[in-house]
Structure 1
Amino acid sequence: MCVEDIEQVSQEMEDLDDGSTNKKPWPLLSRGDFLSTQMENWVHKDSPFPLAVVAGSNRLESISEETVATDKKHDLLTNFIPTLRSGEWSDIGGRPYMEDTHVCIADLAKNFGRNLMSEDTVSFYGVFDGHGGKDASQFVRDHLPRVIVEDADFPLDIEKAVTRSFMETDAAFAKSCSLESALASGTTALTAMIFGRSLLVANAGDSRAVLSRCGTAIEMSKDHRPCCMKERRRIESLGGFIDDGYLNGQLGVTRALGNWHLEGMKEMGERIGPLSAEPELKMITLTKEDEFLIIGSDGIWDVFTSQNAVDFTRRRLQEHNDVKLCCREMVGEAIKRGATDNLTVVLVSFHLEPPLPSIIQRARFRRSISAEGLQSLKCLLEG
C-alpha cells in the first residue's frame, strides 16, 4: 500500500465521521503507526520472516551482531588446524644414574614404513621414567611405537590399539626379562598422539601431561600413585595392599610396565596382579584456544604445579618462542627449585606464533605446602 492509498483511506474515514453522528469514529493512525500495523499483520506464525526482524531496526542490528560474533567464534574453534612444533630436554638431576628417556616422532606410520589411507599424519610423543635401571624405559621407548602401528585396529580404533599395545609391550618385556635378568626393571609410560585435531593421551604411572588452554592448565592425565583412593580400591580388589605409601610396600607407583621381578606384582594368564600396565586414556578435540602440551616425568612435577608449569612456559614462549629452549629452561628452573630426581620435558606447541598475553586474572594466594604435597592432597580429595 503506497502513501497515496493511506491518505485516501484517512480521508474516507474523516468523511464517514462527518456524515453520521450515530457512528463511533474510527481511531485515526499516523502514517508510521499505520505502516507498522500493516507490517505486523503481514507477519504471522507461518511467515518465513521472523517478527523480531521487522519489529524495529535496533533489534535487527542486535540480532545480527550476536549471530556474527557467535559464527566467528565457532569458525575459529572448529576450523582450527594445529601446526605442530616440538622440543625436549633431559637432565640427570640429583640421581647417580639417568633412567628417564623420551621419544618424538613427527609421522608415526611413515617412521615404520606404513602408508595410511587417511590424510591425517599421526604424531607421537612419549616420556618414560624408569626405576630400578634404564632397561625397561629404553625397551618401551624402542618397541611401543612400532607395536601401536602394527596393531590391527590402528588407526581406525586408535584408543583400542594404544591400550592393547601397552599390554603387549609389557608382556614382550617380561619375555626379555626371563632371558636376561639384568632387564629386571620397570618404567612409567606417558604418550601423546596427535592426528588432525584430535589429541589422545595414554598414561600408566606418575608422569603427567598438561594442556594450556588460553593460559589455563588442563591436566590430561592422572598420577597413578598409592595415595589415590581410586587406585587403592583397584589394588585391594586384586589382592594387593598399600604399606607406608608404597604398593605392596615396594613401589611408589601403581601402574607401570615391567617390574616382573617383583613377586606378587604381576601375574601371567587369567590372574591379574595389583601393578597394572593398562593405561588410562583421555581424548579431546583441539581448538584455536589450545596453545601447547607439556609432558614431564615426575621429577618436574615435584617442584612445579600444573598451572605453574603452564605460566612458566607461556612466559618463555612469549619471550623467544623457541620450544626446545623453553624445555631446557624449565629443566634448569626445576634444578634451581631443588629437584632431586631425573628430569625430562617434552613440549608440543600447536601454533607458530607465541601465546597471546592472558587476560585471565587468577587470585594470588600464599601457600605453605610443596607441589608434591598439593598433589597428594588432590589425590585424596579426588578419591
Structure 2
Amino acid sequence: MCVKDAKKVGQEIENLDDNNNNKRLGPLHCEVLHTQMEKWDEESSLISSTDRISPERSFPLESICEEAVAVERKQNLLSFVPALHSGVWSDIGGRQYMEDTHICIGDLAQKFGYNLLCDDVISFYGVFDGHGGKAAAQFVRDQLPRVIVEDADFPLELEKVVTRSFIATDAAFAKRCSLEAALSSGTTVLTAMIFGRSLLVANAGDCRAVLSRRGIAIEMSEDHRPCCAKESMRIESLGGYIIDGYLNGQLGVTRALGDWHLEGMKGMGESIGPLSAEPELKLVTLTKEDEFLIIGSDGIWDMFSNQNSVDFARRRLQEHNDVKLCCKQIVDEAKQRGATDNLTVVMVNFHTEPPPPVVVQRARVRRSISAEGLQSLKCLLEG
C-alpha cells in the first residue's frame, strides 16, 4: 500500500540528512514513486507500441489508439488532487442531552507543532457518539488526534498508528475514570484522514462513513452491532453474549471507547473483554470520480440509507454548492423523517465545483420466447 511503501522512502531520505532530525517524512513521498512508476509504464507502452508497427505503416494500428485512450483516462483519474472543503452540523434531536461531538482539522501535523519534510497536508475529521454521558466522547475528541501525531511511526505507517492510538486513548480514558468516577461513559468513534489522494477511515462503533463516487454510494465503514455475524462470533469467542440484541444485555454496539465502568465488558492486559476499542480500517485512493464523503452519527443512518444520503446531498450541492448548508439540510431532513437520536453530520467535498449530473444508460435487455410459448402463440394467432 501507499502508506506502507513510504517507510522505505523515508529511510533513504533520513540517511541523506542525518542532521535534520526534527522533521518527518510525509506519506506522499509514495506519490513520487507512483508518478515515476507511471512514467516507466508510459515508456514501456511506447516501446511495445512501436514494436507492433511494421516499417511499411506510417500510422499506428487502431488497437494501439484504444490502449492510448485507456491509459490517458487512467492517468487523468490518478493525477487528481482533491480540493478539500468541509462542513458540519449537529442537533440534539429528540434526546434530552447532547452526547454527540465532532472534530475537523485541516492540517493535523501543524495543529500539534510537527513539521513534515514535504509540503503534504494530513487532514483529520471525526464524529464521536457518546452514551451514558458526554465525557468519553469529549475526551477522545481532544486526545485521539494528539496521540496519533505523537506516535513514533507517524506519518509513515498510518494504519498501524491509528489502530494503536485508538487503543492507547481508550486506556488513557480508563486511567482518567479511575481518578474521576463521574466521567464514566462510552463513545463510538469514526475518523477519516485524507493525505494526498489517500483516504483512511477508522471505525469503532455504529457511526458511518459513505463516499460518493459518480453518484454511487460506497460504504467506507461497517456498523459494529450485536446483529453482525462477524461481531457475534468475536464476542462469543471472548466469553461475551448477546441478549435481546444487546452486548451482555447492556450495550447496542460491540466496539466503543470507554465503558470501563460496565462489568465484564473490558479488561487490561491478557484479560480482553468482548467490547473492543480496536477500529476497523479502510484505505482507498481517491480519483476524480470521487465527489464527497459523508460522516454521520447513527441517528442520521436510522433515517437515511447510504444511497439515499448520497442522492440527497448531490441534489443539494447541485443547487447551492454549500457544504455546511448541505449538512444542515441532511440533519433537518432526518428530523422531519422522525429522528429521535442526536444528529451529527460532517461532510468533506473533494471538488470546488458541484457534482455533475449523472447520465444513466439504459441496459440492453435480450427478450426471448421458449418453444412452448412460441407454439402457444401460433395456436392463438391461428385461432
Counterpart position of 2:35:
none
**What is the correspondence of 1:28-107 to structure 2 with a 5 Å cutoff?**
49-50=51-52, 60=60, 62-107=62-107
SS in 1 for 2:166: helix
Distance 1:54 1:134 in 2: 77
Counterpart position of 1:159:
159
Compute the TM-score of the two structures, normalised by the length of structure 1: 0.80
Which letter maps to 2:52? P
SS in 2 for 1:345: strand
Distance 2:303 2:104 in 1: 24
Counterpart position of 1:380:
none
Distance 1:190 1:243 in 2: 26
Distance 2:180 2:361 in 1: 55
Counterpart position of 2:229:
229
Decide which structure has the larger Cα Rg and report it: 1
Deviation at 1:65, TM superposition (A): 3.8
Matched-pair identity in %: 72
Which letter maps to 1:360? V
Note closer, same or farther for the CA distance 1:54–1:100 as it changes in structure 2 (3 Å cut): farther
Note closer, same or farther for the CA distance 1:329–1:55 as it changes in structure 2 (3 Å cut): same
Deviation at 1:54, TM superposition (A): 5.3
Note closer, same or farther for the CA distance 1:315–1:48 as it changes in structure 2 (3 Å cut): closer
Deviation at 1:104, TM superposition (A): 0.1
**What is the correspondence of 1:285-324 to structure 2 with a 5 Å cutoff?**
285-324=285-324
SS in 2 for 1:188: strand
Counterpart position of 2:250:
250
RMSD: 1.9
Which letter maps to 2:180? E
Distance 1:362 1:133 in 2: 51
Distance 2:361 2:326 in 1: 23
Residue by residue over 1:155-177, the C-alpha shift from the partner in whole angstroms, topping out at 9 and shown as x without a partner, is 01111110000000000100111
Distance 1:107 1:62 in 2: 47
Counterpart position of 1:266:
266
Residue 209 (str. 1) matches residue 209 (str. 2): yes
Distance 2:118 2:233 in 1: 41
Distance 1:157 1:270 in 2: 25
Note closer, same or farther for the CA distance 1:63–1:205 as it changes in structure 2 (3 Å cut): same
Note closer, same or farther for the CA distance 1:47–1:178 as it changes in structure 2 (3 Å cut): closer
Unmatched 5+ stretches in structure 2: 1-47, 364-383
Note closer, same or farther for the CA distance 1:142–1:47 as it changes in structure 2 (3 Å cut): closer
Counterpart position of 2:379:
none
Deviation at 1:63, TM superposition (A): 3.0
Deviation at 1:238, TM superposition (A): 0.2
Residue by residue over 1:52-78, the C-alpha shift from the partner in whole angstroms, topping out at 9 and shown as x without a partner, is 795797xx4633541342132112111
SS in 2 for 1:90: strand
Distance 1:249 1:326 in 2: 38
Which letter maps to 1:204? A
**What is the correspondence of 1:349-368 to structure 2 with a 5 Å cutoff?**
349-360=349-360
Distance 2:193 2:53 in 1: 50
Distance 1:276 1:358 in 2: 40
Counterpart position of 2:241:
241
Which letter maps to 1:355? P
Residue by residue over 1:261-288, the C-alpha shift from the partner in whole angstroms, topping out at 9 and shown as x without a partner, is 0000000121100000000000011000
Deviation at 1:320, TM superposition (A): 0.4
Counterpart position of 1:187:
187
SS in 2 for 1:80: coil
Deviation at 1:48, TM superposition (A): 5.5
Which letter maps to 2:152? A
Distance 1:177 1:336 in 2: 38
Counterpart position of 2:124:
124
Compute the TM-score of the two structures, normalised by the length of structure 2: 0.80
SS in 2 for 1:353: coil
Distance 1:138 1:250 in 2: 22
Distance 1:152 1:80 in 2: 30
Q: Which runs of 4+ in 1 moved over 6 A?
A: none
Counterpart position of 1:332:
332
Counterpart position of 2:112:
112
Distance 1:48 1:87 in 2: 50
> Is residue 100–residue 344 contact of structure 2 (8 Å, CA) maintained in 1?
yes
What is the aligned length? 316
Counterpart position of 1:147:
147
Distance 1:83 1:157 in 2: 24
Distance 1:340 1:48 in 2: 66
Note closer, same or farther for the CA distance 1:349–1:47 as it changes in structure 2 (3 Å cut): closer
Distance 2:90 2:49 in 1: 67
Residue 279 (str. 1) matches residue 279 (str. 2): yes
> Is residue 136–residue 183 contact of structure 2 (8 Å, CA) maintained in 1?
yes
> Is residue 136–residue 187 contact of structure 2 (8 Å, CA) maintained in 1?
yes
Distance 1:95 1:118 in 2: 45
Distance 1:225 1:179 in 2: 30
Deviation at 1:310, TM superposition (A): 0.4
Distance 2:242 2:197 in 1: 40
Deviation at 1:50, TM superposition (A): 2.3
